[in-house]
Amino acid sequence: MTTFLKKVMLAAAFSSVAASVCASDIVVIVNPANPATAMTAAQASQFFLGKSPMFTPVDLPENSPVRADFYKKVAGKDLSEVKAIWSKLVFTGKAAAPKEYQSAAEVKKAIAANPTGIGYIEKSAVDSTVKVITTLQ
């Protein structure tokens, strides 16, 4: 097999993995004790873009494909736009950027420990420690 063909096959494999990550459902989660039972994507975007202090948002790492897909689905923004919004809010002292966690397990743990926390993970990672209030497809 030629080197070129190997590279093409490798690229195809990576793109199919990336497509499957982006194709999965992402859910917005809160603490089970939180009285919220449902939320629209537009409402969720208010918390993740610093427009409302009602909930404390948490993020996955900046290099996470789930994070990029989440912001595209919830707010129609790419990560550079989101970063610019938070940079302005932090610089002007209007808000603190969401804390980043390295995995869905860490996000769930943070949400389970904070009654006002709000986060997002892949639907497949949901368990009884958190409550789903929105599913983004």
- Residue 44: CATH number of its domain: 3.40.190.10
Counting the structural domains of the chain, the total is 1
Token reading at 49: 């873009």
The pLDDT of residue 38 is 96
| pLDDT band for position 1 (cuts 50, 70, 90) | low
Q: What is the pTM of this model?
A: 0.82
Q: How far apart are CA 110 and CA 103, in angstroms?
A: 11
Domain membership of residue 19 (yes or no) is no
In a domain? residue 6:
no
Residue pair 104/125 in contact (Cβ under 8 Å)? The answer is: yes
- Residue 59, pLDDT score: 97
Measured in degrees and rounded to the nearest 5, phi and psi for residue 98 equal: -60, 145
Share of the chain above pLDDT 70, in %: 83
Please indicate, yes or no, if residue 34 is contained in any of the structural domains.
Answer: yes
Give the span between the Cα atoms of 124 and 65, in whole angstroms. 15
Residues 61, 64, 66, 72: is their CA dihedral positive or negative?
positive
The boundaries of the domain holding residue 37 are 25-136
Q: Is residue 68 part of a domain?
A: yes
Tell me, what amino acid is at 101? Y
Confidence of residue 23 (pLDDT cuts 50, 70, 90): low
- How does the average pLDDT of the chain come out, rounded? 87
- On whether residue 111 sits in a domain, the answer given is yes
Q: Determine, yes or no, domain membership for 41.
A: yes
Residue 121 in domain: yes
Residue 57 is assigned to a structural domain of this protein: yes
Q: What is the mean pLDDT of residues 13-41?
A: 76
